[in-house]
Amino acid sequence: MNQQLNFLEPTELQMKPPDGNNHLIPEQGITNDESDFRVHVGYKAQHIYVFPTQAGRDALEREKHRLDLKRGSQPGVGGIITNEGYAVPISSIDGLQSILIPIDIYQQYPIIRDELTSTKGAKAVSIVADMLKRQLVKLPLNISFIDKKDLQIRGHDILIWSKLTLQVKCDFLAGEREFGGTGNLFLQTAECNPRRLT
């Protein structure tokens, strides 16, 4: 295998042969995503982009006719196409939040464009998790008021809970142009995993 290796991941992981599926599986991506919200980490632009998953589907449906289908590949898979989708303008996605990644979080999880997809994905999840812990992401909450006197006396006036699911994507070049991004988010519609990496 003629492959340029990097110093970022173990050599054995980089040399893992592409013995998984090597044909794109359609409808793998936003079209069948069961999440409530998606978070795209635009590392180059130092922002995350949070939006309701359905709003992303709606934007894709509206814009798809005028967009070019984009295809991509992972390093070390011998030219196998591993994903396809559309670069959708940020302005087309209703309810999208553009949130600056704090510099300490940004520096703690440096994402290199040539890293393995699984490595970039893990770092993107860490970035989002840390931002959620700091309450930097506004997500809807279900609020339930307690009117039983015994609970109110003990100080349990309001219960706040949320059972939202988030799909996190490392979308390296995503983001507004003024921050160094492409002006788009990449909404994937098909994929395959020839290296069996998650």
The band of 1, judged by pLDDT with boundaries at 50, 70 and 90, is: very low
Domain ranges of the chain: 24-191
Secondary structure string (H, E, C) spanning 104-160: HHHHHCCCCCCCCHHHHHHHHHHHHHHHHHCCCCCCCCEEEECCCHHHHHCCCCEEE
Write the pLDDT tens digit of every residue in 133-192: 999 999 987 666 666 666 555 555 555 667 889 999 999 999 999 999 999 999 999 877
- Tell me which of 7 and 27 has the higher pLDDT: 27
pTM value is 0.79
The band of 6, judged by pLDDT with boundaries at 50, 70 and 90, is: low
- Check: CB of residue 162 under 8 Å from CB of residue 50: no
Sheet with 69-72: list strands edge to edge.
25-26, 184-191, 83-89, 69-72
Query: In whole angstroms, what is the distance from residue 142 CA to residue 64 CA?
Result: 33
